[in-house]
Amino acid sequence: MFPTRLEEVQREVSAALAEAIAAQPSAPLRDAMGYAAQGGKRLRAFLVLESAALFGIPAAQAMPAAAGVEALHAYSLVHDDLPCMDDDDLRRGQPTVHVKWDEATAVLAGDALQTLAFELCADPALGDHRIDLVLALARASGAAGMVHGQMLDIAAETAAAPLTLAEITRLQDGKTGALISFAAQAGAILAGADRAPLAAYAGALGLAFQIADDILDVVGSEETAGKRLHKDAGAGKATFVSLLGLEGARRRAADLVAEAEAALAPYGEKAETLRAAARYVIARDR
Amino acid sequence: MFPTRLEEVQREVSAALAEAIAAQPSAPLRDAMGYAAQGGKRLRAFLVLESAALFGIPAAQAMPAAAGVEALHAYSLVHDDLPCMDDDDLRRGQPTVHVKWDEATAVLAGDALQTLAFELCADPALGDHRIDLVLALARASGAAGMVHGQMLDIAAETAAAPLTLAEITRLQDGKTGALISFAAQAGAILAGADRAPLAAYAGALGLAFQIADDILDVVGSEETAGKRLHKDAGAGKATFVSLLGLEGARRRAADLVAEAEAALAPYGEKAETLRAAARYVIARDR
């Protein structure tokens, strides 16, 4: 069942990540990295492990990649929360790294988590195609992917007019879509198989995920979400909800989930947990 | 001749790096990355290309790794110059990235330059051993290498007592030594050859480099160096010069250069430009 499998993944990936971080020699850095890497939904790790399972790659073998994508995600959150960026004080229900330590520690812990992500994705256990995984992670997370989206997000805050639907879609496609897409394709990459069906699944899934995030920002509970909400409307930022309305956003997200499920047709029954993951993405409360 | 070869490398690596950055889709990010990646001695790129040449790997083939190590170095400088870190306003003779743009752009440009470094080191042109290069870069630059050294450097600023010689050596071994060592071993890694002689060369070279930096901080010209100098004494920071005296530091650096040259004995005449590079490291004025 999907929720049980997600909880298993959360435990296993958190343990793998904690172990990789515990091996680092720098005490304060190690503490801040471990703190930043704990908690979270582990959706990206789940996508890595389940897409690997589609191609017969066992979870134990794909684990470094699953831990790697979560290290990458954790780095992006630490830097995104910095005072010069989104200036957030709460993340995953805890004070952010720069609040608990200081800004210099947050910059360096984020930097080291990015490096760790690449180290984990180059782990020999991942087999002969891991160099392609490294390349795909770089393309998804750098100036052509996630960081591009973050830059557009920052530019949007000082833009003269709110973004259009096309502009928000492009922004989110980088900011959250690229890494989710990487995670969902990881299994095919490691197997040296065709990535197209998983890329189609992930494209729809990533956008549904972000629309759900915008809906959560309006209707969610800060206590359950573990982060500050209701920031977008206050800042006058355009979101999928402000552009489509709450009901319109819900309909669009549901359509995208159906699209994501349909893209998995080539894998038949084997892809059932990935279909359940798509449904979870718009049903979640954090 | 060494200075001619270094100038060639500076031109070629700067062009390769500019080309890789120009391919990024995000205009402001691309501009800030390109700005941060220009100039510099390109010593690390030189070490990559010359160590590759020892094993018959042509410069054109090793170029992505040379550009990659300079992208990594540029990222570390952008983040190191941030107000929450060393708070520097001048680098390579120009305003630092957060002065010319803003802090958010500097954080993101640094992040994207780190990602680009891994993308470049995973470039297919580098051949079958490039996965080992990716792993070596991660180990040299992350929480067990360069970022570890930066964390020790920041901790030293608030430490009750100035650092001892052993502590400074350990700090610099991470902060500058690890990446120089990576660069000097890159050729052996790409060739799948024994790294030991180049590791010994690089260990002595990296330490000599840092002692020379400390000497420059005392006797150098800001105009020639292109960065702020005379900061260490003002901050009461222990350096190799404060611990060994100016003459003692010069003697130690010269001994290390002799040690570095001797480590190259297995390569005979072929390693002459690498020997010249070691002599340059303590003779340079920037």
- What distance in Å separates the CA atoms of residue A92 and residue A75, rounded to the nearest whole number? 14
- Residue B273: give the domain boundaries: 2-283
pLDDT tens string B168-187: 999 999 999 999 999 999 99
Residue of A31, A119, A126, A139 to mutate, interface with B, max B Cβ within 10 Å: A119
- What distance in Å separates the CA atoms of residue B254 and residue B48, rounded to the nearest whole number? 23
Element (H, E) at A91: strand A90-91
Partner-chain residue, chosen from B21, B28, B138, that has the shortest CB–CB distance to A115? B138
Ramachandran category for residue A161: left, alpha or beta (phi over 0 → left; psi -120 to 50 → alpha): beta
| Interchain proximity B135–A119, CB inside 8 Å | yes
Please report the pLDDT score of residue B53 as a whole number: 97
- What distance in Å separates the CA atoms of residue B140 and residue A122, rounded to the nearest whole number? 14
Partner-chain residue, chosen from A111, A137, A147, that has the shortest CB–CB distance to B147? A111
Partner-chain residue, chosen from B26, B130, B131, that has the shortest CB–CB distance to A151? B26
| Interchain proximity B85–A104, CB inside 8 Å | yes
ipTM of the complex: 0.95
Q: How many cross-chain Cβ pairs, A to B, lie less than 8 Å apart? A: 148
CATH number of the domain that residue A230 is part of: 1.10.600.10
Please report the pLDDT score of residue B234 as a whole number: 66
Range B123-138 average pLDDT:
98
Please report the pLDDT score of residue A37 as a whole number: 96
Binning pLDDT at 50, 70 and 90, where does residue A283 land? confident
Partner-chain residue, chosen from B112, B114, B131, that has the shortest CB–CB distance to A131? B131
Residue of A19, A80, A85, A111 to mutate, interface with B, max B Cβ within 10 Å: A111
Range A109-138 average pLDDT:
98
Give the nearest chain A residue to B122 (CA atoms): A135
pLDDT tens string B209-238: 999 999 998 887 777 777 777 776 666 778
pLDDT tens string A22-80: 999 888 899 999 999 998 899 999 999 999 999 999 999 999 999 999 999 999 999 99
* DSSP structural state of residue A57: -
Closest CA to A141 of A74, A82, A208, A197: A74
Query: What residues have CB less than 8 Å from B40, skipping those under 6 apart?
Result: B10, B70, B73, B74, B92
- What distance in Å separates the CA atoms of residue A229 and residue A221, rounded to the nearest whole number? 8
Structure tokens at B122: 């995973």
| Interchain proximity B26–A135, CB inside 8 Å | no
Q: What's the total number of domains in chain B?
A: 1
Rounded (10°) CA dihedral B105, A71, B159, B241: -70
Please report the pLDDT score of residue B221 as a whole number: 76
Q: Please, what is the average pLDDT of chain A?
A: 93
Please report the pLDDT score of residue B273 as a whole number: 94
Please report the pLDDT score of residue A180 as a whole number: 96
Structure tokens at A111: 């930097």
- What distance in Å separates the CA atoms of residue B153 and residue B147, rounded to the nearest whole number? 10
Give the nearest chain A residue to B132 (CA atoms): A122
Element (H, E) at A94: strand A94-95
Q: Please, what is the average pLDDT of chain B?
A: 93
Whether the pLDDT of residue A220 is over 90: the answer is: no
Give the nearest chain B residue to A130 (CA atoms): B131
Partner-chain residue, chosen from A30, A79, A119, that has the shortest CB–CB distance to B111? A79
Structure tokens at B156: 């030293």
Q: By the 8 A CB rule, do A44 and A65 touch?
A: no
Please report the pLDDT score of residue A234 as a whole number: 66
Whether the pLDDT of residue A233 is over 70: the answer is: no
| Interchain proximity A111–B110, CB inside 8 Å | yes
Separation in Å, CA of B109 to nearest CA in chain A: 8
Partner-chain residue, chosen from A84, A102, A107, that has the shortest CB–CB distance to B104? A84
| Interchain proximity A147–B122, CB inside 8 Å | no
| Interchain proximity A111–B79, CB inside 8 Å | yes
Structure tokens at B155: 């901790």
- What distance in Å separates the CA atoms of residue A104 and residue A113, rounded to the nearest whole number? 14
Separation in Å, CA of A236 to nearest CA in chain B: 20
Please report the pLDDT score of residue A93 as a whole number: 85
A123-144 burial by CB neighbour count: b if 16+ within 10 A, else e? Answer: beebeeebbbbbbbbbbbbbbb
| Interchain proximity B108–A150, CB inside 8 Å | yes
Q: By the 8 A CB rule, do B215 and B249 touch?
A: yes
Report CA-CA distances (Å) from B84 to B172, B232, B238.
20, 17, 21
Least trusted range by pLDDT, from A94-108, A221-235, B13-27: A221-235
Whether the pLDDT of residue B252 is over 80: the answer is: yes
Instruction: Give B91's strand partners.
Output: B94
Range B134-150 average pLDDT:
97
Give the nearest chain A residue to B30 (CA atoms): A143
**Helix residue ranges, H only, chain B:** 2-22, 27-37, 43-54, 59-80, 97-100, 103-121, 130-141, 146-157, 165-172, 178-191, 196-219, 222-225, 231-234, 240-263, 272-283
Separation in Å, CA of B225 to nearest CA in chain A: 25
Partner-chain residue, chosen from A103, A131, A154, that has the shortest CB–CB distance to B84? A103
Residues of A in contact with B144 (CB under 8 A): 23-26
Whether the pLDDT of residue A161 is over 90: the answer is: no
Query: What residues have CB less than 8 Å from A141, skipping those under 6 apart?
Result: A72, A76, A114, A117, A147, A178, A179, A182, B115
| Interchain proximity A138–B119, CB inside 8 Å | yes
Binning pLDDT at 50, 70 and 90, where does residue A160 land? confident
Binning pLDDT at 50, 70 and 90, where does residue B283 land? confident
| Interchain proximity B138–A122, CB inside 8 Å | yes
Give the nearest chain B residue to A25 (CA atoms): B144
- What distance in Å separates the CA atoms of residue A184 and residue A200, rounded to the nearest whole number? 10
**Helix residue ranges, H only, chain A:** 2-22, 27-37, 43-54, 59-80, 97-100, 103-121, 130-141, 146-157, 165-172, 178-191, 196-219, 222-225, 231-234, 240-244, 246-263, 272-283
| Interchain proximity B118–A118, CB inside 8 Å | yes
Rounded (10°) CA dihedral B170, B171, B175, B179: 0
- What distance in Å separates the CA atoms of residue A161 and residue A172, rounded to the nearest whole number? 18
| Interchain proximity B155–A115, CB inside 8 Å | no
